[in-house]
Amino acid sequence: MKITLQQIKALKYVDRLIRMRLTGPPDQLAKKLKISKKSLFLLIEFMKQQQAVIVYDITLQSYVYDECPDYTFSIVPNNSDQKTNQTCLTQYAYKHPRLRIV
């Protein structure tokens, strides 16, 4: 999957907001990221495909990591598309404490 610099920044920002439990509802998070709600859901789905256990906590009105094991993926250049300087996402370090929604 090819990912743009804007998408990488969005992933980092969403990760930080999830860690702080301050994403807000999907509408607000999409607005913070300046993307559509559909793009937000695709971003979260991508994170879930990378082993992130993300759930929406109704009480907190925020996405949170739930029982998230340590796992990694990182950003590496894609050499096949040097003209547009595209990147592909393969590893990025995630280390979250196990969370329990009460």
Task: Tell me the pLDDT tens digit for each residue of 32-73.
Answer: 999 999 999 999 998 888 888 899 999 999 999 886 555 444
Amino acid (one-letter) located at 18: I
Domain positions in the chain:
2-94
Residue 41 · residue 64 · CB < 8 Å: no
Q: Rounded to whole angstroms, how far apart are CA atoms 97 and 67?
A: 8
In terms of DSSP bridges, do strands 71-77 and 87-94 run parallel, antiparallel, or are they unpaired?
antiparallel
* pTM exceeds 0.85 for this model: no
| CATH architecture under which domain 2-94 falls | Orthogonal Bundle (1.10)
Side chain identity at 76, as an amino acid letter? Answer: V
Residue type, 34: K
pLDDT at residue 37, rounded to an integer: 95
Give the SS3 label for residue 16: helix
